[in-house]
Amino acid sequence: MSTTVQGVDARAYLAGWLSAVTGMTIADINAIPEEKWTESLGGCARSANGLLADTVTNLLWTTDVVQGKESDAYNHMAAMAEEFTDKSVAVAKFAAASAALGEAIQNASDEVLNSMATAPWGMPTPVFTLATISVNHIWYHDGQFNYVHCLLGDEKVHWMP
């Protein structure tokens, strides 16, 4: 048996991880009680629907960039948070945005993935790196959803069997 790696399909691995973290996050979102979904715990924390609006905004922005387009997705985050007061709407839009990014990653050319784009924080960054950050950005916010669970006395890991 050869131990030499013949190639790595970075697109497939990234799209696979995107699917995994999306599934974990949806399980954790579904475990947040409806009456707490839009609440600012402690009076200063971002609400869970606001966190998901941030997540989806980033997914939409990154999908545009991976497709070689300009994006104004960040101009719509506040409106999205309002739309996301309905958790089922929020989860459906999150799943769709995640799937769109996965498809964009799989279909992007090497030229596009190796090109530079200016990140929302103003730093020129390779597009593949931006896609990687966007996928892991989901997990970052999933950690916040898990913290919401803990603040509510729920210590279960909802995405584990």
Pick the closest to residue 107 from 6, 23, 14 (CA basis).
Answer: 14
> Which tokens go with 134?
């966007």
Instruction: Summarize pLDDT for 49-98 with one digit per residue, the tens.
Output: 999 999 999 999 999 999 999 999 999 999 999 999 999 999 999 999 99
The CA-CA-CA angle for residues 108, 94, 121, to 5°, reads 65
Instruction: Summarize pLDDT for 127-143 with one digit per residue, the tens.
Output: 999 999 999 999 999 99
Which pLDDT belongs to residue 90? 98
Q: Is residue 3 over pLDDT 90?
A: no
Q: Domains (ranges, CATH) in the chain?
A: 10-151 (1.20.120.450)
Pick the closest to residue 23 from 140, 149, 139, 147 (CA basis).
Answer: 139
Tokens 């597009």 correspond to what residue? Answer: 127
Average pLDDT of the residues in 4-13:
86
